[in-house]
């Protein structure tokens, strides 16, 4: 990995993370992500370029608005840092390639989805539907996965979650999974292909079930409620599959070998 290119990509990721924060805040409110310019949601004052430097401005301002002193959510620098680190990891994995470009788009989308779904239990169509098209386009450009695997991945990802939703609705007598989760799984299938999307859904289900059990144990009042939306688990499972998929498969097979 070229160190200087890596540094540039990390800084670029921080800057993209700043834009992703705008998306996370405005998309659920159905506001334009381009206009008006960045401003404090509390006092409405325009944020200057000096106060909009990723992470650094947050530290200089001590996590507060320069004008009204309202606290700035820690999510803002967290998204910027995560974006920078993910971009760097993708460059380390793929170098400057079409796979790298596809990963930038995919993980930028997943970061926005992660935080929106966590807060609003909503996965916006404005991200997943264009994302499906972009996933197919990259299958022609990168050929990893090739278009046929991408197409099958679309049906496997979306179809599997659709049937899981039907089964869950009948089992729990209420909506167990939203349409946004199904569209997200379909989008992941176009980027990852059917083999990897199967692993993503398996890992996401495992993570979600584990988290649900922990919350139920910690709080009886949460029993029977939908504790956490499924989108964040799909996002985390995608990260694990892309960066640690081979190791996880080896670990899984190793458990059976030693039994």
Question: Can you tell me whether residue 46 is helix, strand or coil?
Answer: strand
Identify the CA nearest to 190 among candidates 93, 73, 109, 80: 109
Identify the CA nearest to 234 among candidates 166, 175, 188: 188
pLDDT at 228: 75
pLDDT at 257: 62
Q: How far apart are CA 165 and CA 5, in angstroms?
A: 44
Length reported for the chain: 259
Q: How far apart are CA 103 and CA 125, in angstroms?
A: 19
CA angle 200, 201, 203 (to 5 degrees): 65
Q: How far apart are CA 45 and CA 67, in angstroms?
A: 7
Give the global pTM.
Answer: 0.91
C-alpha distance from residue 11 to each of 4, 86, 98, 101 (Å): 11, 11, 20, 16
Per-residue pLDDT of the chain (259 residues; tens, 9 = 90+): 689 999 999 999 999 999 999 999 999 999 999 888 888 888 889 988 888 999 999 999 999 999 999 999 999 999 999 999 999 999 999 999 999 999 999 999 999 999 999 999 999 999 999 999 999 999 999 888 999 999 999 999 999 999 988 887 777 777 767 899 999 999 999 999 999 999 999 999 999 989 888 877 776 655 555 557 899 999 999 999 999 987 887 776 676 665 5
Peptide bond into 97 cis (omega under 30): no
pLDDT at 220: 60
Token pair recorded at residue 251: 């670990």
pLDDT at 169: 75
Q: Under a CB-based contact definition with an 8 Å cutoff, are residues 211 and 227 in contact?
A: yes
């Amino acid at each position: 990995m070229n160190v200087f290119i890596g540094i540039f990509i990390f800084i670029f990721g921080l800057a993209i993370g700043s834009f992703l924060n705008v998306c996370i805040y405005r998309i659920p409110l159905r506001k334009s992500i381009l206009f008006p310019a960045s401003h404090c949601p509390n006092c409405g004052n325009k944020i200057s370029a000096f106060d909009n430097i990723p992470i650094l401005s947050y530290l200089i301002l001590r996590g507060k608005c320069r004008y009204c002193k309202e606290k700035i959510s820690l999510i803002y620098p967290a998204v910027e840092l995560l974006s920078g680190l993910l971009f760097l990891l993708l460059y380390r994995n793929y170098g400057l390639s079409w796979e790298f470009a596809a990963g930038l788009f995919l993980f930028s989308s997943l970061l926005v989805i992660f935080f929106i779904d966590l807060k609003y239990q909503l996965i916006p169509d404005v991200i997943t539907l264009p994302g499906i098209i972009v996933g197919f386009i990259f299958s022609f450009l990168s050929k990893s996965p090739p278009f046929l695997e991408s197409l099958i991945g679309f049906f496997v990802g979306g179809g599997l979650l659709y049937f899981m939703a039907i089964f869950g609705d009948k089992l729990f007598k209420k909506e167990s999974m939203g349409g946004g989760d199904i569209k997200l799984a379909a989008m992941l299938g176009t980027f990852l292909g059917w083999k990897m999307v199967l692993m993503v859904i398996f890992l996401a289900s495992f993570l979600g079930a584990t988290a649900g059990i922990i919350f139920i144990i910690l709080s009886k009042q949460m029993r029977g409620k939908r504790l956490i939306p499924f989108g964040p688990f799909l996002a985390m499972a995608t990260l694990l599959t892309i960066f640690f998929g081979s190791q996880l498969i080896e670990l899984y097979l190793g458990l059976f070998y030693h039994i």
